Amino acid sequence: MKRTAFIIGLGLIGGSIALAIRKEHDVHIIGFDIHSDQLKMAHSLRVIDESVSSIKEGVARADLIIFATPVSRTTELLKDLVDYDIKPGAIITDVGSTKRKIYQQAECLIEKGITFIGGHPMAGSHKSGVEAARAHLFENAYYILTPSEDADARAIIQLQNWLKGTKATFIEMTADQHDHLAGAISHFPHIVAASLVHQVANLEEKDPLVSRLAAGGFRDITRIASASPVMWRDILLQNKDSLLRLLESWMHEMKNVKTLIEEENETDIYTYFEEAKAFRDGLPVKKKGAIPSFYDLYVDVPDHPGVISDVTSILAQHKISITNIRILETREDIMGVLRLSFRSEEDLDQAKIQLQHHMYETYRL
């Protein structure tokens, strides 16, 4: 008899996990979503085998239960789960980007002998919805697991076996450790990006020219500020304590930078940027992190009619898909710059090889 997985929330993450499970296991996948259009789309794309009208119905039949819902919603649903019939040996997990409050709510399940292991696949996409789901979304990404201290080691291994189709790298840590680290490398950078945008928006009231100048590099480095306001409102409220500590640390860091500028110490200023560059350049390139990667390739192109169609036709001939193309600079009699965005590191590498073969100068930032 086939084992059954129950996915609650059929968006990008829930759909991609379902596809990854199906790729490796002969299982029956049940889905639930409050949006009927997502359920219909999940059916048509064969992400799920059937849908149920209530979470209670799906839980009673499942060997694996995955909450792929917003953190605030997950905590509410876990509270209800205590009163539901759950199969003996079933494993419950989630995909929330904060873990402490979810773990606190799940304690009532753990006390009843029900296995709950928190999870956070640290990968995503700038697209949303089940139609954007891909089995390879989590490939080379870190998948954080936050089991309780007395969790059964066999259950943790079993969950990893369920999820092996993600081809992710599993790391175990406590819920508090997760929230602190995720706050530093994902949540806090989004706050910084949003605050930079606000700073420029305020400046525009005095000098409207600023928005025209910000259309280039500034727009690129603040891309993550375009993420869902609803999601980031919830994350800031869910990870309040860690983010307040990080803000204190950041203000101290900015005070040090202010001192460097005031004292005009050339050596210290140089060292500050040199150390930042060295650390940043040493970060892994091909591993996915908490912030979705931008697979961007920059191409120098001459000011000549048809050059853009030439670049795109070269890639099309080799079946390399572009997710976005943007002209960053083009002026008469000088080289322009195209920024090509790809779905994966592999597509980017192939594009680089083919374009260089046709004498185009390419580079990454």
Q: Which domains does the chain have, with CATH numbers?
A: 4-173 (3.40.50.720), 178-281 (1.10.3660.10), 295-363 (3.30.2130.10)
Those residues of the chain that have pLDDT short of 50 are 330-334
Q: 363, 298 in Cβ contact below 8 A?
A: yes
Q: Quick one: angle between helices 240-263 and 229-238, nearest 10?
A: 100
Instruction: Give the pLDDT of residue 332.
Output: 43
Mapping DSSP onto H, E and C, the string for the chain reads: CCCEEEEECCCHHHHHHHHHHHHHCCCEEEEECCCHHHHHHHHHCCCCCEECCCHHHHHHHCCEEEECCCHHHHHHHHHHHCCCCCCCCCEEEECCCCCHHHHHHHHHHHCCCCEEEEEEECCCCCCCCHHHCCCCCCCCEEEEEEECCCCCHHHHHHHHHHCHHHCCEEEECCHHHHHHHHHHHHHHHHHHHHHHHHHHHHHHCCCCHHHHHCCCHHHHHCHHHHCCHHHHHHHHHHCHHHHHHHHHHHHHHHHHHHHHHHHCCHHHHHHHHHHHHHHHHCCCCCCECCCCCCEEEEEEECCCCCHHHHHHHHHHHCCCCCCEEEEEECCCCCCEEEEEEECCHHHHHHHHHHHHHCCCEEECC
Instruction: Give the pLDDT of residue 339.
Output: 87
Instruction: Give the pLDDT of residue 47.
Output: 95
Span 117-167, pLDDT tens digits: 999 998 876 667 898 888 888 888 899 999 988 889 999 999 999 999 999
Number of residues written out for the chain:
365
Span 296-327, pLDDT tens digits: 888 888 877 788 889 999 999 999 988 888 87
Instruction: Give the pLDDT of residue 364.
Output: 80
Instruction: Give the pLDDT of residue 331.
Output: 43
Instruction: Give the pLDDT of residue 204.
Output: 86
Q: 94, 74 in Cβ contact below 8 A?
A: yes
Q: Residues with Cβ < 8 Å from 23, sequence gap 6 or more?
A: 135, 165
- State the pTM of this model: 0.74
Q: Residues with Cβ < 8 Å from 37, sequence gap 6 or more?
A: none
Distance separating alpha carbons of residues 20 and 123, to the nearest angstrom: 14
Instruction: Give the pLDDT of residue 333.
Output: 44
Q: Residues with Cβ < 8 Å from 327, sequence gap 6 or more?
A: 308, 336, 337, 338
Write out the two tokens for 103. Answer: 């773990």
Instruction: Give the pLDDT of residue 330.
Output: 46
Instruction: Give the pLDDT of residue 121.
Output: 93
Q: How far from each other are the two terminal CA atoms of the chain, in whole angstroms?
A: 51
Distance separating alpha carbons of residues 119 and 174, to the nearest angstrom: 11
